[in-house]
Structure 1
Amino acid sequence: MSQTSTPRRAAAAAFIGTTIEFYDFYIYAFAAALVLGQLFFPSDNPTLSTMAAFGSFAVGFIARPFAGMVFGHLGDRLGRKKMLLFTMALMGLATTCIGLLPTYAQAGIWGPAGLVLLRLLQGISVGGEWGGAVLMASEHAPKGRKVFFASFAQWGSPAGLLLALIAFRVISEMDQEALLSWGWRIPFLLSGVLMMVGLAIRFGVPESPEFTEVRERDKTARFPVMEVLRGYWKQILFAASAVTIGSAGFFFTNTFMITYVTQYLGIAKTTILDCLFVVTVLQFISQPCSALLSERVGEGRFLKWVAALCILAPYPMFLLVQTGNLVYMTAGIALAVVLLAALYAVIAGYMAEAFPAQVRYSGISIAYQLGSAVTGGTTPMLGTFIAGQYTGQWWPLAIFFSVLALMSLVGVLGLSHLRGAAAPRVALSTSEGAA
């Protein structure tokens, strides 16, 4: 494989792999918003059923920081590629098994218990996969283009979301009885096929050259997680804060918003799914453009401006969503999503450069998964709670969104300061001993 084609192939593999991973993750989010509450957490109160389903959704995020530590350690010790293959297989198997799971009516408490366990495995997979995908793209990249190439891993998010939206848009045309009896299982069962495609593509990409150099020089860290926590804890905290709106914002607009407009505004689920499909197409187009623009104006400056604009975005979004008009709803949500997607596209490569290669997998995995667990997984549940407490009022939800964006702005400012300062030095031990 030529030196010029390898970076492109690594970027393509990162894109396709994360597309499949995020497809699996998003179909659970949609199912939680639409059917899992009725099937696995039945109640006389629809809000409680939905919150229980979103609670199971949050379980996957709880697992992600711990998975980030485990796979970060292994990725910094054994290599990026091995971890990517393992986590993709784990995600595909867990998602496929959800499609085969008996419901509460069929198996009693064992149905929701199995759902929570499989959701936990999904979280473990994403917690370990994301960092490796970003690094395989960025560490293969030409000099000066690491942030842009890392954005290909982030580009898999809207692509996976598009696939998930298509799958649920098709099954939403079924009558309610067919949807609840077997139709909801189809998107989950398709994951098995996608898993095989992803594994074949990732298997053909060589190991990261930066990790290979570290290993050949016998400079791999003995305990990467301990060393990154000791020497780079400020970078971890600011990076975790910086990714907030890029993670939580998507689940606000693409998961909670489904519940909000169907349960509180009385809008048909097919309408909001059509709206989100158009928005996601716009996101898919805008993300690489945002990454290219950030190269021209400077990644740090770009991220600061985008995070600041995200603070203002929810107010026009909700004003337009309240109209119930498909065109206005799409315009409002698209405004917010294009802005937060711009931050999401750039932040992965930007935060990766804050850590040295010896502990980079651990550093970015812990930071990203910590931020996602604290805010991303809880956002749909908190949004549902706020909507229930302030029925008929959208401004508390808009303030909630603004707070999430403010957290990202603070994180970007802190990370930018640390990247500009002299990096702290840690005593990285050699690779003697077992992983």
Structure 2
Amino acid sequence: MVNNSPARPGAKNTPRRAAIASLVGTTIEWYEFFIYGLAAALVFGDLFFPGVDEHTGRLASFATLGVAFVARPLGAAIFGHFGDRLGRKTTLIATLGIMGTATGLIGALPTYDSIGIWAPILLIVLRMFQGLAVGGEWGGAVLMSVEHAPPAKVRLYGCAPQMGSPLGLILATAVMSAVATLPDDQMLSWGWRIPFLAGFVLVIVGLVIRLGVAESSQFQELKTAGETARLPIRDVFARAKKSLFIGIGLQASVNVVFYMISVYFLSYATSSLGLQRSTALLIIMIAAAVDLAALPFMAALSDKIGAHKVFLAGALFTIAAAFPFFWLLRGDHLVLTCIVVVIMMIGAHATTYSVVSSLIADQFDTKVRYSGTALSNALGGLAFSAPTPFIAEAIVGGGGGQWWPLSLMIIVAALISVVAIRVIPRTTGRGLTSDGGNTDHERLSSTPA
């Protein structure tokens, strides 16, 4: 029987170093992932899908955005297998390299005017590689943090890779805001390429940091004992289907809210509210910055009172705020609009996103934890993140549609997450923590999922 207790690092700073490596790596990955979404909302329609009206061009761009989410489950299966067989560290180095290369190559792509139909085809292929990389990245980054974490701070350390999402969004929005100030002809000819070409540089930084982190003792003991799973994905579907569905459902609320704000809001603000794109980008950046500050606070609170309580409070807030959110957005009241977006990010996103990573990892034992966590995230993204901007754009269109169906989308997603959090056993007996009572401080047991 393998001892699955939390890692006992040889150096006191190993948990912190692992958390920093997870944060830096996911920040780079999400920067590169989000920069595509921002470009899809702003310029890809003109560059890669010319000859159609603006609304149709944005729909086509958002469709290519969804390609990555289709690829993510495949990436989760591939890299989850190697993560559970070879180790978390080796796999994470591979995912980061693939993401950086694909992003940089997007910045070097010829547009439709240069090579015709091959331009959107190559764009879709590179977007698929981005999806493969993210599909394997998130689960491994989460495990790098939580498997090194002190028992009393699993939620806080598990929040480190989550902070990479808003931080990546801030960086992506800041860079895109800078190039968006260029005249339209310069923006469309070369300005949009700068954020993507930066991917080549960022990936080197991430790789240097990740190379300095040791493998977690939980996995290392398993590997030394020769007890790693031969086909972890098969084992997930054979022994942990309920855990997989719980992991997918937990992400419904947070994914829909986040992509409604981080990606679709840019289109909604410019086409329906009449805001300048630089103003809309600034609002997103402010909301992401506040969200970034709120995430560790919510995670630390969860370590004290229980992740179930904090997550459920966030999902219920989402339901209550879904209609007021769109109703209060006003193009002629910028301060009010910014405040509303910030409050939505804190109440609906920070509360749930801060703990969803460790809650999902908590459902799987060490043998299949990478595969189970990665696949839950990838399938959750495919089901709830990918369709959100496309459906929202299709409903609202060029500003003439009604916004209330978007509120219904948010409510339905939040209800799914409420069901998911309610069916999790308060004491799982198999994950990283046990959220019974008021604490999450139980040690990992070796009971199979």
Q: TM-score, normalised by structure 1?
A: 0.95
| In structure 2, C-alpha distance between the alignment counterparts of 1:280 and 1:426, rounded to whole Å | 38
The residue aligned with 2:40 is 32
Displacement of 1:314 after TM fit?
Answer: 2.5
| In structure 2, C-alpha distance between the alignment counterparts of 1:224 and 1:392, rounded to whole Å | 46
Mind listing any 5+ residue stretches in structure 2 that lack a counterpart? 1-8, 432-444
| In structure 2, C-alpha distance between the alignment counterparts of 1:392 and 1:94, rounded to whole Å | 35
Displacement of 1:391 after TM fit?
Answer: 2.6
1:228-377 matches, within 5 Å, as: 228-339=236-347, 340-377=349-386
CA contact (8 A) 1:313 1:335 kept: no
| In structure 1, C-alpha distance between the alignment counterparts of 2:390 and 2:446, rounded to whole Å | 40
1:70-149 matches, within 5 Å, as: 70-149=78-157
Task: Provide the secondary structure at the position in 1 that maps to 2:192.
Answer: helix
Task: Pick the aligned partner of 2:75 from 67, 70, 74.
Answer: 67
CA distance 1:390–1:238, change in 2 (3 Å): farther
Displacement of 1:53 after TM fit?
Answer: 0.3
| In structure 2, C-alpha distance between the alignment counterparts of 1:126 and 1:151, rounded to whole Å | 17
Displacement of 1:421 after TM fit?
Answer: 5.4
Displacement of 1:388 after TM fit?
Answer: 2.6
Task: Pick the aligned partner of 1:173 from 172, 181, 190.
Answer: 181
Displacement of 1:174 after TM fit?
Answer: 0.4
Task: Provide the secondary structure at the position in 1 that maps to 2:151.
Answer: coil
CA distance 1:389–1:181, change in 2 (3 Å): closer
Task: Provide the secondary structure at the position in 2 that maps to 1:31.
Answer: helix
- Counting matched residue pairs gives 426
Task: Provide the secondary structure at the position in 1 that maps to 2:182.
Answer: coil
Identity %: 38
Task: Provide the secondary structure at the position in 1 that maps to 2:394.
Answer: helix
| In structure 2, C-alpha distance between the alignment counterparts of 1:152 and 1:421, rounded to whole Å | 23
Task: Provide the secondary structure at the position in 1 that maps to 2:104.
Answer: helix
CA contact (8 A) 1:282 1:334 kept: yes
Task: Pick the aligned partner of 2:427 from 415, 420, 433.
Answer: 420
CA contact (8 A) 2:365 2:446 kept: no
CA contact (8 A) 1:148 1:349 kept: no
| In structure 2, C-alpha distance between the alignment counterparts of 1:38 and 1:407, rounded to whole Å | 37
| In structure 2, C-alpha distance between the alignment counterparts of 1:247 and 1:410, rounded to whole Å | 16
| In structure 2, C-alpha distance between the alignment counterparts of 1:43 and 1:314, rounded to whole Å | 36
Q: TM-score, normalised by structure 2?
A: 0.92
The one-letter amino acid of 1:420's match is T
The residue aligned with 2:415 is 406
Give the RMSD, CA atoms, in angstroms. Answer: 1.8
| In structure 2, C-alpha distance between the alignment counterparts of 1:131 and 1:402, rounded to whole Å | 27
CA contact (8 A) 1:390 1:396 kept: no
| In structure 1, C-alpha distance between the alignment counterparts of 2:217 and 2:447, rounded to whole Å | 22
Displacement of 1:323 after TM fit?
Answer: 4.6
CA distance 1:168–1:413, change in 2 (3 Å): same
| In structure 2, C-alpha distance between the alignment counterparts of 1:323 and 1:315, rounded to whole Å | 17
| In structure 2, C-alpha distance between the alignment counterparts of 1:144 and 1:279, rounded to whole Å | 29
Displacement of 1:335 after TM fit?
Answer: 1.4
Once the two structures are superposed, residues 254-280 of structure 1 have per-residue CA deviations (whole angstroms, 9 ceiling, x without a partner) of: 110111111122211111111111111
User: Is 1:223–2:231 an aligned residue pair?
Assistant: yes
Greater CA drift, 13-22 or 402-411 = 402-411
CA distance 1:236–1:302, change in 2 (3 Å): same
| In structure 2, C-alpha distance between the alignment counterparts of 1:283 and 1:426, rounded to whole Å | 35
The residue aligned with 1:431 is none
